[in-house]
A and B are shown apart, each in its own frame.
Chain A
Amino acid sequence: DIVMTQGALPNPVPSGESVSITCRSSKSLLYSDGKTYLNWYLQRPGQSPQLLIYWMSTRASGVSDRFSGSGSGTDFTLKISGVEAEDVGVYYCQQGLEFPFTFGSGTKLEIK
């Protein structure tokens, strides 16, 4: 199985600051169609996960442009430009290249 490893944040983060959340996969997620099958989700407290980014860098419908995704085949970053109170929660990366799809263990964001 592909292992997804996420980094931690130096919580709490001051409101308005920009943060980068890292994720690493044990295998390249770049497919022959040119797409990188890496998704990002936010799970706010008490809620279901919601899709933020798919194909490594494509924002999902309705997602703020403060969120951006980037990376290579195995190293990925979710950047939040100017964190706000509503960004609090746990962020997960997930690979959609191979079965079984796998998720990272999550990165918690707290705001000061």
Chain B
Amino acid sequence: QVQLKETGPGLVQPTQTLSITCTVSGFSLTSYYMQWVRQTPGKGLEWMGFIRSGGSTEYNSEFKSRLSISRDTSKNQVFLKMNSLKTEDTGVYYCARAYWFDYWGQGVMVTVSS
């Protein structure tokens, strides 16, 4: 069955880089878009960006200058990297499948604090 699971650090210091991995099973990354969405107390659900089945990416301009999405199809993994973290980046980060977000991971809570 389709499964997605995010893994990442629970705590990141301000100005540092966040790295989250989404490991999927039950489908191929070469057949589906993979999305990243975060949920913060300040802004609710925010779309961050996606990587297409062909490997190209699209980003929310809100994050574009500091966000990178990539993947390793051989490992069934999608990666989110965001630099220059601020306290406002504290929240839950989700990966989701497909253009219409049909499956979501459990999310990973990230706290940005010194």
- Give the interface of A toward B (CB within 8 A): 39, 41, 48-51, 54-55, 60-61, 92, 94, 96, 99-103, 105-106
Contacts of A39 in B (CB 8 A): 100-101
22 A-B contact pairs sorted by A residue (CB < 8 Å): A39-B101, A48-B94, A48-B104, A48-B105, A48-B107, A49-B45, A49-B94, A51-B101, A51-B102, A51-B103, A54-B100, A60-B100, A60-B102, A92-B45, A94-B45, A94-B101, A96-B100, A100-B60, A103-B44, A103-B45, A103-B46, A103-B47
Quick check: is B72 within 8 A (CB to CB) of the other chain? Answer: no
Quick check: is B58 within 8 A (CB to CB) of the other chain? Answer: yes
Q: Which 6 A-B pairs have the closest CB atoms?
A: A101-B47, A100-B60, A103-B45, A48-B104, A54-B100, A51-B102
Give the residues from 72 to 108 in chain B that come closer than 8 angstroms, CB to CB, to chain A: 94, 99-107
Report the minimal beta-carbon distance from B5 to chain A, rounded to whole angstroms.
11
Contacts of B56 in A (CB 8 A): none
Q: Are B62 and A48 in contact (CB under 8 A)?
A: no
Report the minimal beta-carbon distance from A54 to chain B, rounded to whole angstroms.
4
Report the minimal beta-carbon distance from A86 to chain B, rounded to whole angstroms.
18
Report the minimal beta-carbon distance from B35 to chain A, rounded to whole angstroms.
8
Quick check: is B31 within 8 A (CB to CB) of the other chain? Answer: no
